[in-house]
Chains A and B, each alone.
Chain A
Amino acid sequence: MSFKSWINGEEDLLLNNLKTTRREDDHVKPLLTDEEKKSENSKVLNKIYNVEDNRRLKRFDKTYRVVAIVFCVLLAAAMLFTISYLPKVGDPDTPANSSVVSERYIESGLQETGATNIVTGMILTYRAFDTFGETNVLFIATVCVMVLLMLDEKILEKLDKTSDRIYEPDYDPILTLAAKVLCPIILLFGIYIVLNGQLSPGGGFSGGAILGAAMILYNAAMGFGKTQRFFNENIYKVAKITALCMYGLIGTYFYITGANGIDNMIPLGTVGAILSGGIILPIDIAVGIEVACTMYAFYALFRRGGL
Chain B
Amino acid sequence: MIIFMVILMGILMVCAIAVTATKSLLNSVLVFMGFSIVMSIIWILFESPDLAITEAAVGAGVTTVLFLATLKRIKAIDLEENLIIEENDQSEIPSWAVAENNEKVEGGASDEL
Contact B50 A119 (CB under 8 A): yes
Contact residue among A40, A167, A209, A298 (Cβ-Cβ distance under 8 Å from B57): A209
Q: Which residues of B contact A88 (CB under 8 A)?
A: none
Interface size class for chain B?
Answer: 20 to 34
**Residues of B contacting A: mostly:** helix
Contact A213 B113 (CB under 8 A): no
Contact B54 A205 (CB under 8 A): yes
Contact B73 A295 (CB under 8 A): no
A-B contacts, 30 listed (Cβ < 8 Å): A31-B103, A40-B113, A41-B113, A44-B113, A119-B50, A120-B50, A164-B72, A164-B80, A167-B80, A193-B53, A201-B53, A202-B50, A203-B50, A205-B54, A206-B53, A206-B57, A209-B53, A209-B58, A210-B53, A210-B57, A212-B57, A212-B62, A213-B62, A220-B65, A295-B58, A298-B66, A299-B62, A299-B66, A302-B66, A302-B69
CB B28 to nearest CB in A, in angstroms, measures 17
Contact B50 A295 (CB under 8 A): no
B10 within 8 Å of A (CB atoms)? no
Interface size of A by CB at 8 A reads 27
A29 within 8 Å of B (CB atoms)? yes
Q: A206-B50, A298-B62 are in contact. Are A29 and B73 (CB under 8 A)?
A: no
Please report B residues at the A interface, Cβ cutoff 8 Å. 49-50, 53-54, 57-58, 61-62, 65-66, 69-70, 72-73, 75, 80, 83-84, 103, 111, 113
Q: Which residues of B contact A220 (CB under 8 A)?
A: 65
Which residues 26-64 of A have a CB within 8 angstroms of B? 29, 31, 40-41, 43-44
CB B13 to nearest CB in A, in angstroms, measures 10
Contact A303 B113 (CB under 8 A): no
* Contacts A202-B49, A203-B50 supplied; 4 other A-B pairs, CB < 8 Å: A40-B113, A120-B50, A295-B58, A302-B69
The list of the 9 closest CB pairs from A to B, nearest first, reads: A201-B49, A209-B57, A206-B53, A213-B61, A302-B69, A206-B54, A40-B113, A210-B57, A201-B50
The docked-state distance in angstroms from the alpha carbon of A202 to that of B61 is 17
Q: Which residues of A contact B70 (CB under 8 A)?
A: 302
